[in-house]
Amino acid sequence: MLYWIFDLDLTLYQLPNNTEFSYDLLLNDDHLAYLLSTLPCKRLLFTNGTYNHALTSLKKISIGDKFHNIEARDTINSLKPSPTSFNTFIAKNNIFYKDKCVFFDDMPENLISSKNFNWITVLINKKNHTHEYIDFWFPNIYLALNFFLCKIQNNTK
């Protein structure tokens, strides 16, 4: 099985530099909704935010219906990059070691932890961080999703 696993804050949306978070800054994003909907298999959200924060944010961006499941700090009682949070996330979503997981996060330390589970790691960050545990880097989610969608399309030809 293939899983697309996404962090929320500063991964699925980014804010202008030095901007304090406000839900009013989150806008409907039809392009992101389209890109997410074209990914095959399961799409999961794995955030250090609360479950209600995730629901509110996803609703504001209009992408809440694009995820098969949402796990947050208050649904798994642990925070990334703790191995406990990854183990709980994996167990709650019936992910097996043989499954292919592509994990998008804006924090390099979360990607380093996920690599221990053999996940493909994608850093979404305006600053490139090179590390042996980071497989791909993109400055925004749109470039990342377009890259993977092109890869999928080329493999089916």
Determine the pLDDT at residue 59.
97
What domain range is 43 assigned to? 2-14+23-155
- Residue 86 pLDDT exceeds 90: yes
Determine the pLDDT at residue 57.
98
| pLDDT tens, position by position, 19-39 | 899 999 999 999 999 999 999
> How far is residue 1's CA from residue 96's CA, in Å, rounded to a whole number?
9
- Residue 84 pLDDT exceeds 60: yes
Q: How many domains in the chain?
A: 1
> E-assigned strands of the chain?
2-6, 42-46, 69-71, 100-105, 120-124, 136-138
Residue 59: which CATH number?
3.40.50.1000
